[in-house]
């Protein structure tokens, strides 16, 4: 389980996170909504070990990511803009980043990861410079699969995607969850949060105000709740 337990982060006299408690199980998609500055990215950065919490714990399968750096290897991160090498092809980027993580796959195995990420086969050997944002995300997801990540952290993954790419992204996320991957997604996208997520949280000024199961709420109801919260 990916878990935040009474997680706090302060910068001088400003609280970025206040006693945050969140859990994400394998096979679950947790979508965290909130305005810029609400604390979503701070939460992700703590799990990635990029910043340390002021108090509380960020845990992966019961082990603190602060005290045990090796646990971070079970996490993959997909930012709003996936950073890949434009002069390399999709499959070559996947090969490079999987080798950095200590894996050595055959071309056939690399192709399987790209297929699982729903990247079109004719794009495998094209340079990343020609890829759309949605295609780059698929390579990022393939890297997460190649790393055998148990959990994937995503920061505004649907920002800038066209409707077709959003549908494909939702499909991929649901397939990942069906295969036991836990996904923690920070987003502004209310429609996709309802469409993709298992559970949704609404954060305001570092505090988690509401949580709900997506089966219990419509996009319109979530939008109304979100507007009231912020």
In tens, the pLDDT along 92-116 reads 999 999 999 899 999 999 999 999 9
Q: What does the alpha-carbon distance between residue 168 and residue 177 come to, in Å, rounded to a whole number?
A: 14
Residue 69: which domain range? 2-85+149-229
Q: Give tens-digit pLDDT for 145-204.
A: 999 889 999 998 888 888 888 888 899 999 999 999 999 999 988 988 999 999 999 999
Does residue 194 form part of some domain? yes
pTM for this model (two decimals): 0.90
pLDDT at 37: 85
Does residue 107 form part of some domain? no
Does residue 189 form part of some domain? yes
Split into its structural domains, the chain has a count of 1
Contact 32, 210 (CB under 8 A): no
CB contact set of 121 (below 8 Å; sequence gap of 6+): 111, 114, 115
Does residue 217 form part of some domain? yes
Does residue 113 form part of some domain? no
């Amino acid at each position: 389980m990916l878990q935040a337990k009474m997680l706090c982060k302060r910068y001088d006299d400003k609280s970025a996170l206040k006693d945050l408690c969140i859990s994400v199980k394998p096979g679950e998609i947790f979508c965290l909504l909130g305005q810029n500055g609400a604390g979503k990215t701070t939460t992700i950065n703590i799990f990635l070990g990029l910043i340390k919490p002021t108090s509380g714990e960020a845990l992966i399968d019961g082990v603190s990511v602060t005290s045990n750096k090796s646990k971070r290897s079970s996490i993959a991160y997909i930012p709003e803009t996936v950073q890949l090498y434009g002069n390399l092809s999709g499959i070559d980027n996947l090969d490079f980043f999987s080798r950095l993580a200590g894996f050595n796959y055959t071309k056939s195995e690399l192709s399987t990861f790209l297929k699982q990420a729903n990247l079109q086969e004719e794009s495998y050997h094209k340079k990343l410079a020609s890829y759309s944002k949605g295609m780059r995300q698929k390579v990022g997801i393939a890297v997460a699969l190649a790393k055998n990540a148990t959990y994937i952290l995503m920061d505004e993954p649907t920002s800038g995607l066209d409707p077709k790419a959003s549908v494909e992204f939702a499909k991929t996320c649901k397939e990942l969850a069906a295969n036991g991957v836990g996904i923690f997604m920070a987003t502004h996208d209310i429609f996709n949060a309802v469409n993709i997520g298992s559970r949704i949280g609404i954060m305001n000024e570092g505090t988690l105000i509401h949580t709900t199961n997506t089966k219990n709420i419509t996009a319109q109801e979530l939008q109304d709740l979100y507007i009231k919260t912020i």
